[in-house]
Structure 1
Amino acid sequence: MYHTHVQPEHDPTEIPFGERPIEDVMRSLWDELLTPGNFRSIQNCSSGRHSVVELEQPRAQYCVGDPLNVLVNTRDYRGTPKAYGGDLILARIHSPELQASASGEVTDLRNGSYHVRFHLFWPGNVQVSVILVHSSEAVQILRRISAHNYDKIIYTGTFYNGSKREESQCGVRLKTDKSLCEYGRKEDAEYYACFPPATLPCNTLRTMRSRNGPVSNLTRDEYQLLSQKHTGIQMRNRFAPVNVSSCPAGTRRPTEKCVAGFGMMSPVPTGYFFKNRWSSSVCQNGNFFSADAISRCLKGKKLKLMGDSTVRQWQERLFGLLKGLKHIKPFDHHYFDLAVDPQLNITVQWKMHGHPFVTGYNMVKDVCGYVYQELDTVAVGDLVVIGVGQHFRPFPLEIFIQRLVNIRKAILRLQARDPQAFIVIKLENTREFSSTMTHLSDWYGYVQNLAQRKVFRDLKVVLVDAWDMTTAANTFAIHPNSMVVSNELSLALSHLCHDT
């Protein structure tokens, strides 16, 4: 079932998923996700243009704090009602004039219909938007081409020895009976390999770049179904916007301070935008948008950002706000950047996570560090933000889960050294519908976020649900705009400082 950001209740005495075999985590994920019937033709697939959204049990008056329930009835391209579920659906309510929005909780009824529950957080005219990201048939194709397929990304390694330069193909898992140049840590199940270059030894590998590999086991119709034409289609509403009133018994914001440890089991939605400011539905988050407020919070602290470029955006936002931050050379925005404010004693470091990465840029092999290894170098008192996922989407899910398990172990080691360690987990955000769906679909990101919630859910960490924020904001961009990034950063700092 496609529930947005919801996890089933679990027994606190059970063995955490992060301590179980990878196969157990995989099985648990697939058990939660409905597997639909076989793809036959596009005409039999769910169609966003033919499906409809209806208001359930309309009321004469809606108040702030009330639920708003809608029913989605999917139909295929012939207009025939669907009899099974499994579609990837995202839903939001929004009031553009108020710069307000929130996501909805989608429940798959497994009969071609979906129940969507919204929480009314603000007064005014509220619009409902429901998007069919992928039909269940497209989801089935995406799952099939991901399983055990390590060739969707092809790497070219460049080997150097003095003036001599040779290239060779590399990959996460190369299929061959011949000997390979292997790198990484096999004891952690974190490794990759290259075919040996013509004459140079394996230890001369210097840089790697990537390109998309073909997906050979797709028919023409399956490729068509995964094209932008059939992706991210807004469904038609059979009702007008809802007018919401400020009734006396309306919702009041939570009064609890934001603390680490309960985010992975947070309610749906985790918050909402109003006047482009995010309010948490879990805790009383602060207002860390100005340079003064951020400076007071980060003064004397070292912030270590670990992960992909969506985490690097946090550093870029801080660099734009805190005028005292200066780059320390050398830096390269592809894999490492260090900035320091000597007057306020603030350090902000971003480092790209280790292989795999997806980029046409020549990444220096030994510059990017595995997050779980970087965590072992964190000093007591350092602040840590971890954001991984986007570069893992083209690979089989077990590669990502193995990385999460290793990160989890490193987090526990850090917390043993520093019980008050401040650790933020930033979930993946949505990205463009123009992306290559076979490699980078948001369905992969959705499943990877479910995996993060499972592996990390019992840890004392801060959750920044970028998926919820970008769904609410309707951004669908690999690099969300500064409004979203500022709110991600402000929410994280609200767990660290409580004086603004």
Structure 2
Amino acid sequence: MDKISNEEYLNVSHVSNGLPNGTPKPINLILNSSIFENVINLPNITKEYNMTVTSAKYSTLEFVNEPEVGKNFTVRIHARDGLNRSKTHGGDFWMAFLQFPSNHYYASTSAQVQDHQNGTYTVDFFIGWPSAVEVRITLVHPSRATKVLDLIMNLSYPPRMFWNGTFINQNNQTAHTLCYMAYRGPQFWKDKCQYVNRRALGDKTGLVCEKPPDGFGCDSMVKYSTAAHLIDGLFRVIGNACGCVWLFDKDHYMQKMKPEIIDMVQHLGSQYAILDNITKTLPPCNSHFQHGVGFWRANYWVSMVCQPKQGYKFGAKVGECLRNKDVYFLGDSTTRLWAFHLSTVLKAPMNKMDLTNHTFKFKQYFEHFNLNITFRFHPQVLGSKVVDLQNEIYEVDVIDDLQSIDCNFVVVISPWAHFAQWWKDAYVERLRLLRASVERLKARCPGAQVILKSPHVREHGDMYSQLRTSDYILFKLKEMMEDVFRDADVYYVNIWDLNNAFKGKKSVHMPPEVINQELSILLSYLCTDA
């Protein structure tokens, strides 16, 4: 396609699957915002400064100690720029991996990188196999790129999620208008249709739509679909306006340092006996807030935090553990995968199954275990599916409606995959309100079990998509989630490192061997006596 201007890019005539006729173009809404002044004023953003950006090629590794089975192996990263000069400040986003350097046996681990804010970074790996390790360090984003992403996350304007709202009036006539998430409060939403749930979103966040023509009320909206080309267009405008998109091209994104293979300290006797003795002394998985330290051994994730059970293969044990329970999975499609896989694990006939629209909701009943499994997708979905408003319900409202004498509730919450484009303060407020609903549930039902599932790494598109769904943004969502729920009465299933260390390609929908290991951690919290 020939190069076109920012305004032309947002003209729906350039998009084969554009919005229906009558949909307003949001060009003025986008271009008249304050984001461009803020982004353009970011210092040293143009490409003439690219040699001063952190370079994986010139950065170096220091091995603080020798790798030894059953102990931590510390690696220090010394960041340097494209002119081979030491960096004196932090902010780079690194990912760190160890793997067994052989094609005949697979073992790997990942660890989070500690930023010392002086150009050095430290990684502590747990060594879970003998012989040798291959150290792999990747510079996902240099600090200048993370500054851009932080800036975008912290701006409340302009809107950066768009939908096409469909209205049907009493005469069965149809109209379409532009809808978007707005963050600055009702005083900025005059003369627009407002769809606000203050218990779930607070006072400043809501879905806002341009008013439909005469003859249509705001309450006549029946469905919406994601205006993906407008979202893509907005972030192309942002990337071009700030002159910063080069920071996300192939030369600056996912820069890999040269792998290094290191032989380990060897011990007499079985190396795995050392690991077995360590894992046997681990506590059961009953602490509410634990980290995700562990390693992959073949197709199994070996936790070094607690003792997860691999009993997910045995349906009867899982069914007995969940007998008489009402299990709710509230979140996105990654949460839906958990619900579907759990149903498969049970290996029991379903007596009732409501799959009216299984993408957004379903309910299953297993009479043999008197077990209900329900999945509900959160509102404001971004994707290819048309969303019927009748299928929408906020997690807060589902949780507040849970009423039972027995209170045998299990609730899994995981709001992340569709929130990478949210304004930071709005996302944090949403998490706080979600936590408040969990606290109300625990006050009614002290025995209810609530599980919080973390985000994980995923696949990404072109360099413009990095501005809205980067793994750096997902990691920041994870940190916000941990900050809000840290002392809450919930079990935290941190699957970041488990997914990051997996040998296969990263995807928002990870393969069954990963989902099974995630479920084993979930069931280790729920089935302490199984």
Task: Find the counterpart in structure 2 of residue 69 from structure 1.
Answer: 74
Task: Find the counterpart in structure 1 of residue 386 from structure 2.
Answer: 362
The answer to whether structure 1 residue 93 and structure 2 residue 98 are counterparts is: yes
Q: Deviations over 1:311-331 (max 9, x none)?
A: 011122123333435472343
Q: Deviations over 1:212-245 (max 9, x none)?
A: 2413333475112223553223211455454665
Give, in angstroms, the shift of residue 107 of structure 1: 1.6
Q: Is the 8 A contact 2:134 2:261 kept in 1?
A: no
Question: Which letter does structure 1 place at the counterpart of 2:375?
Answer: W
Task: Find the counterpart in structure 2 of residue 52 from structure 1.
Answer: 60
Q: Is the 8 A contact 2:133 2:261 kept in 1?
A: no
Structure 1: gaps of 5 or more residues = 1-35
Task: Find the counterpart in structure 2 of residue 193 from structure 1.
Answer: 208
Give distance in 2, aligned partners of 1:389 and 1:55: 35
Give distance in 2, aligned partners of 1:292 and 1:118: 36
Q: Deviations over 1:26-62 (max 9, x none)?
A: xxxxxxxxxx9743433322233443333224x4xx4
Q: Deviations over 1:433-474 (max 9, x none)?
A: 436111111111111111111110111211111212112225
Q: Secondary structure at the match of 1:209?
A: strand
Question: Which letter does structure 2 place at the counterpart of 1:166?
Answer: A
Q: Secondary structure at the match of 2:108?
A: strand
Q: Is the 8 A contact 1:231 1:433 kept in 2?
A: no
Q: Does 470-479 or 384-393 show the bigger shift?
A: 470-479
Identity %: 25
Task: Find the counterpart in structure 1 of residue 440 from structure 2.
Answer: 413
The answer to whether structure 1 residue 218 and structure 2 residue 202 are counterparts is: no
Q: Secondary structure at the match of 2:321?
A: helix
Give distance in 1, aligned partners of 2:354 and 2:207: 30
The within-5 A match list for 1:402-481 is 402-434=429-461, 436-473=465-502, 475-481=505-511
The answer to whether structure 1 residue 227 and structure 2 residue 267 are counterparts is: no
Normalized per residue, the structure richer in helix is: 2
Question: Which letter does structure 1 place at the counterpart of 2:222?
Answer: R
Residue-pair matches, total: 457
Give, in angstroms, the shift of residue 260 of structure 1: 4.4
Task: Find the counterpart in structure 1 of residue 115 from structure 2.
Answer: 108
Q: Is the 8 A contact 1:389 1:400 kept in 2?
A: no
Q: Does 72-81 or 391-400 show the bigger shift?
A: 72-81
Give distance in 1, aligned partners of 2:364 and 2:265: 48
Q: Is the 8 A contact 2:126 2:294 kept in 1?
A: no
Task: Find the counterpart in structure 2 of residue 498 from structure 1.
Answer: 528
Give distance in 1, aligned partners of 2:338 and 2:467: 28
Give, in angstroms, the shift of residue 354 of structure 1: 2.0
Quickly say closer, same or farther: Cα 1:241–1:90, change in 2 above 3 A: farther
Quickly say closer, same or farther: Cα 1:332–1:49, change in 2 above 3 A: farther
Give, in angstroms, the shift of residue 289 of structure 1: 2.5
Question: Which letter does structure 1 place at the counterpart of 2:245?
Answer: Y
Task: Find the counterpart in structure 2 of residue 8 from structure 1.
Answer: none
Question: Which letter does structure 1 place at the counterpart of 2:466?
Answer: M
Between the two structures, name the one with larger relative contact order (CA 8 Å, sep ≥ 6): 1
Task: Find the counterpart in structure 1 of residue 293 from structure 2.
Answer: 270
Q: Secondary structure at the match of 1:431?
A: coil
Quickly say closer, same or farther: Cα 1:479–1:243, change in 2 above 3 A: farther
The within-5 A match list for 1:153-232 is 153-161=161-169, 162-173=171-182, 178-186=190-198, 188-189=202-203, 190-199=205-214, 200-210=216-226, 211=228, 212=231, 213-215=233-235, 216-219=237-240, 221-232=243-254
Give distance in 2, aligned partners of 1:323 and 1:172: 42
Quickly say closer, same or farther: Cα 1:286–1:194, change in 2 above 3 A: same
Q: Is the 8 A contact 1:54 1:239 kept in 2?
A: no
Q: Secondary structure at the match of 1:230?
A: coil
The answer to whether structure 1 residue 383 and structure 2 residue 403 are counterparts is: no
Give, in angstroms, the shift of residue 483 of structure 1: 1.3
Question: Which letter does structure 1 place at the counterpart of 2:181?
Answer: V
The answer to whether structure 1 residue 300 and structure 2 residue 300 are counterparts is: no
| TM-score normalized with structure 2 length | 0.80
Q: Secondary structure at the match of 1:69?
A: strand
Quickly say closer, same or farther: Cα 1:40–1:159, change in 2 above 3 A: same
Q: Does 432-441 or 249-258 show the bigger shift?
A: 249-258
Give, in angstroms, the shift of residue 131 of structure 1: 1.5
Q: Deviations over 1:115-146 (max 9, x none)?
A: 21112133232222212111111101111223
Q: Secondary structure at the match of 1:425?
A: strand
Which of the two has higher C-alpha Rg? 2
Give, in angstroms, the shift of residue 150 of structure 1: 4.3
Quickly say closer, same or farther: Cα 1:192–1:153, change in 2 above 3 A: same
| TM-score normalized with structure 1 length | 0.84
Q: Secondary structure at the match of 1:194?
A: strand
Paired residue for 1:343, among 368, 371, 378?
Answer: 368
The answer to whether structure 1 residue 283 and structure 2 residue 303 are counterparts is: no
Q: Is the 8 A contact 2:312 2:523 kept in 1?
A: no
Q: Deviations over 1:329-360 (max 9, x none)?
A: 343233112222223322211110123x2113
Task: Find the counterpart in structure 2 of residue 17 from structure 1.
Answer: none
Task: Find the counterpart in structure 2 of residue 26 from structure 1.
Answer: none
Task: Find the counterpart in structure 2 of residue 12 from structure 1.
Answer: none
Task: Find the counterpart in structure 2 of residue 257 from structure 1.
Answer: 284
Give distance in 1, aligned partners of 2:499 and 2:319: 26
Question: Which letter does structure 2 place at the counterpart of 1:64?
Answer: V
